[in-house]
Amino acid sequence: MDDLYRDEILEHYRHPHNFGTLTEPDVVQEGSNPLCGDRITLMLDIGEDGVIHDVAFTGRGCAISQASASMLTDEIRGKPLADLTRLGRQDILDNLGIEISPARLKCAMLSLETLRKGVGDRVTWPSLPEAQDVPA
Amino acid sequence: MTTHAPVGEVATTSVARLDPVAIRADFPIFDRDFGGRRLAYLDSAATALKPRVVIDAVDAYNSRYSANVHRGIYTIGEEATAAYEGARTAVARFINAPDRHEIVFVRNATEAINLVAYTWGRQHIHSGDTIVLTELEHHSNLVPWQLLAQERDADLEFVPIDDEGRLLQATYEALLRTKPRLVAFTHVSNGLGTINPVREMVEAAHAAGAMVLVDGAQAVPHLPVDVQALGCDFYVFSGHKTLGPTGSGALWARRELLESMPPFMAGGEMIREVHLRRTEFNDVPWKFEAGTPDIAAAIGLGAAVEYLEGIGMAAVREHERELVAYALDLLPQEVPDLKLYGPLSPDERGGVVTFNLPAVHAHDVATLLDREAIAVRAGHHCTQPLHERLGEAATARASFNVYSDHEDVERLASALARVQRIFDRPTGGTA
């Protein structure tokens, strides 16, 4: 049991990075898994150069969803918007670094799906395979 | 103040003790190795494990007499019909229905409730009518009534719960004064384990002129149910929660009531005579069993109820009551800040223990418990309104059955303590 939730995940869960709000964000996007109560509100400051200058999120829910969000915000800070389209399921899983069962995939993917929804009209995304539909 | 004593309680001194270790030998799934551990299956409220006799009954049908029912004038056709109708008789006996014609086979309790909503419901619920439900209800005893109420411009009212998850009977009585057409409520709450005082609530509803549907999905598998003693008009349960196969379940209603109801699904089997422009329907219960049924599942359910009769439902109830008492005592000892939901007294609750660990999401709990071959449910257990009332997005739920024992409870308790320790452990900014 002890090796499943790595220290890094617990640390991101307890002290999530970039947790909070931005004063005048260009993007504010909410996402949630109503079946289990995970929720994220993502905020982005995007410069005229198309680069993500600042990022923040608030949220609550399971360790997987919150740690995943925290790690994702670290990853996208300073990146050009166009680079975001390369992010997929594997990047989320690599960040977490642990086995995610199909039932928990929705938790892990919440932050990426929220990000995609938030910047959806600004870039062209490749289609993302759907996380397995598993009721909570 | 009405009592909360469950119907059919027998004095514990006269009830033979059930032996879960011996019973587990009847369930092949326990032969499976889960990382060197025996499965601690604590999600029987979702579906029950299957004993060998049930698996064999299904197998026997499929391998030795897999004919259709009610039609073949050949040996295996008659065998299939006899077994299918024999299962109906067994189910009627199991819930003390006076007549086997009062048992309609369905896929599950959900289908049974929809059957009533679509037939009796559409016949009797009109604009301005009221249906009384409760805050405890599983979505299956809520959403069908929402659809009916929307369609018919009827009103839904809800009996609220107190902080222990018991229905506020005074509010129920007040709601009955609005003269509802129908009262529908759960016998045992799948979310909190609350055992409702069915007989008393049925009497009050009838006195107010309302019909009553009782959702017995969490009752029939776990305690003696006598539909005549309960006095309700409709009673539903799921076979797959009663050690039967998935795809099995039943609706009970008095014969005259079924005869007065229009058909649900239409087609073969539920007819007597068919002409191009008019059809005469079959007698009950076959009027409500259109098309080829899940024959194997019904036969399996027959074997399941016979297996349970062999154990005795009073013994089952006492076994689970004792396990719940043990869990309610042990869990808070192992995880001091554990939050428990539902009635505090084991006498007022079925074998369901719903809880949360402080600052650990139920999903994370379930994932970690799975690593130790302990299966619990995490989420809202198909009771989102109940969880809104509790103020929780998700809870974890352990539920017991004949194959559960003290060791299961102890494994659960110590695993929960370990989960809490993992989430408490210092990580010192390693990220």
Domains of chain A: 7-119 (3.90.1010.10)
pLDDT category at B86 given cuts 50, 70, 90 is very high
Provide residues of A within 8 Å CB-CB of chain B: 1-2, 4-5, 7-8, 10-12, 14-15, 17, 35-38, 60-64, 70, 101, 104, 107, 135-136
Segment B337-393, tens digit of pLDDT: 999 999 999 999 999 999 999 889 999 999 999 999 999 999 999 999 999 999 998
DSSP codes of every residue in B91-105: HHHHTT-S-GGGEEE
Q: Which of A5, A35, A107, A109 to mutate against chain B (most B CBs within 10 Å)? A: A5
Window 352-371 of B: residues touching A by CB (8 A cutoff) are: 360-364, 367-368, 370-371
B chain contacts of residue A38, beta-carbon cutoff 8 Å = 361, 393
Q: Does B422 touch chain A (CB under 8 A)?
A: yes
Rounded to a whole number of angstroms, the distance from the CA of B370 to the nearest CA of chain A is 9
Q: Looking at residue A126, what is its pLDDT?
A: 73
Cα–Cα distances (Å) from A71 to A45, A104, B230, B302, in that order, read 17, 17, 56, 53
When pLDDT is averaged across residues B83-98 and rounded to a whole number, the result is 98
Position B11 pLDDT exceeds 70: no
Residue of A11, A62, A135 with shortest CB distance to B363: A62
**For position B374, what pLDDT does the model report?**
98
Length of chain B: 431
Q: What is the 3-state secondary structure (H, E, C) of B228-246?
A: HHHCCCEEEEEHHHCCCCC
Tell whether B378 lies on the interface with A, counting CB pairs under 8 A. yes
Q: Which residues of A touch B370 (CB under 8 A)?
A: 101
Q: How confident is the model at residue B76 (pLDDT cuts 50, 70, 90)?
A: very high
Q: What is the DSSP code string of chain A?
A: -TTTS-HHHHHHHHS-TTBS--SS-SEEEEEEETTTTEEEEEEEEE-TTSBEEEEEEEEES-HHHHHHHHHHHHHHTT-BHHHHTT--HHHHHHHH-S---GGGHHHHHHHHHHHHHHHTTTS-PPPPPPPP----
Boundaries of every domain in chain B: 12-49+312-421
Domain at B12-49+312-421: CATH code:
3.90.1150.10
Among residues B186, B167, B138, B164, the alpha carbon closest in space to that of B328 is found at: B164
Q: Which residue in B87, B127, B124, B134 sits closest to B257, CA to CA?
A: B124
**Residue B280, both tokens:** 């005469």
User: Measured between alpha carbons, how far is A123 from A108 in angstroms, rounded to an integer?
Assistant: 22
Q: How far is B423 from chain A (nearest CA, A)?
A: 7
C-beta atoms of B379 and A11 within 8 A: no
Nearest 5°: phi and psi at B284? -80, 150
Nearest Cβ partner for B423 among A10, A12, A64: A10
Give the Cα separation of B383 and B257 in Å (integer). Answer: 30
| Dist. CA B431–CA B422, nearest whole Å | 16
Catalytic residues of B, which ones?
A: 382
Mean pLDDT over the full length of chain A: 90
Cβ-Cβ contacts under 8 Å, A12 against chain B:
431
B367 contact residues in A (CB cutoff 8 A): 4, 64, 101, 104
How far is B159 from B374, CA to CA, in rounded Å? 35
pLDDT of the residue at A128: 64
Chain B: nearest CA to A100, how far in angstroms? 9
| B304 within 8 A of B243, measured Cβ to Cβ | yes
Sign of the torsion formed by the C-alpha atoms of B93, B97, B99 and B103: negative
Cα–chain-centroid distance for residue B371? 28
Examine residue B98 and say whether the peptide bond preceding it is cis (omega within 30 degrees of 0). no
Q: Do A63 and B364 touch (CB under 8 A)?
A: yes
Quick check: B379 and A8 CB within 8 A?
no
> Sign of the CA dihedral B109, B110, B114, B115?
negative
What are the tens digits of pLDDT across the range A96-106? Answer: 998 898 889 99
Q: What is the pLDDT of residues B107-150, one digit of tens each?
A: 999 999 999 999 999 999 999 999 999 999 999 999 999 999 99
A62 CB neighbours in chain B (<8 A) are 361-364
The residue of chain A nearest to residue B391, with distances taken between CA atoms, is A37
**Which tokens hold the place of B70?**
């009610």
Residue B34 forms contact with A (CB below 8 Å): no
Q: Among A1, A7, A64, select the one facing B427 at the smallest CB separation.
A: A7
pTM attached to this predicted model: 0.92
Long-range contacts formed by B255-259: CB under 8 A, 24+ apart: B255/B99, B255/B101, B255/B102, B255/B284, B257/B120, B257/B233, B258/B101, B258/B102, B258/B104, B258/B284, B258/B285, B258/B287, B258/B288, B259/B283, B259/B284
pLDDT value at residue B12: 47
Cβ(B369)–Cβ(B376) under 8 Å? yes
pLDDT of residue B426: 85
CA-to-CA distance for B76 and B168, rounded, in angstroms? 53
When comparing pLDDT for A121 and B321, which is higher?
B321
Express each pLDDT in B151-168 by its tens digit: 999 999 999 999 999 999
Instruction: For B417, name the nearest residue in chain A, comparing CA atoms only.
Output: A1
- The backbone torsions φ and ψ at residue B195, rounded to the nearest 5 degrees and listed phi first, read -95, 120
- Residue A22: C-alpha distances to residues A25, A26, A111 (Å): 6, 9, 17
Give the model's confidence band at A132: pLDDT under 50 very low, under 70 low, under 90 confident, else very high: low
Q: Would you call A62 and B368 a contact, using CB atoms and an 8 Å cutoff?
A: no
Quick one: tokens of B430? Answer: 């390693």
Contact A92, A131 (CB under 8 A): no
SS3 B77: helix
User: Is residue B429 scored above 80 in pLDDT?
Assistant: no
Of A1, A2, A36, the CB nearest to B393: A36
Q: What is the pLDDT of residues A11-24, one digit of tens each?
A: 999 999 999 999 99
A62 and B364: CB-CB below 8 Å?
Answer: yes
Q: What is the pLDDT of residues B169-187, one digit of tens each?
A: 999 999 999 999 999 999 9
- A&B contacts, CB < 8 Å: 77
Residue of A nearest to B424 (CA): A10
* Residues of chain B neighbouring A8 (CB-CB closer than 8 A): 427, 430-431
| B193-231: pLDDT as tens digits | 999 999 999 999 999 999 999 999 999 999 999 999 999
Mutation pick from B110, B138, B364 vs chain A, by most beta carbons of A within 10 Å, is: B364
Contact call for A37 and B415, based on CB within 8 A: no
How far is the alpha carbon of A9 from chain B, nearest alpha carbon, in Å?
8
Residues of chain B with C-beta less than 8 angstroms from the C-beta of A75: none
* Per-residue confidence band for A129, with pLDDT thresholds at 50, 70 and 90: low
B362–A1 C-beta distance less than 8 A: no
Nearest chain B Cα distance for residue A103, angstroms = 9
**Model confidence at B423: pLDDT above 60:** yes
Q: What is the mean pLDDT of chain B?
A: 95
- Is pLDDT at B277 greater than 70 in this prediction? yes
Looking up tokens 């049974």 gives B112
Residue of A nearest to B46 (CA): A136
Asked if B276 contacts B262 with a C-beta cutoff of 8 angstroms, the reply is no
Residue B4 clears pLDDT 80, i.e. is over it: no
Confidence band, pLDDT 50/70/90 cuts, at residue B72: confident
The neighbour count for residue A29, using CB atoms within 10 Å, is 19
High-pLDDT (> 90) share of chain B, %: 93
Put simply, the answer to whether A14 touches B427 (Cβ < 8 Å) is yes
Q: How far apart are CA B323 and CA B316, in angstroms?
A: 11
pLDDT of residue B427: 78
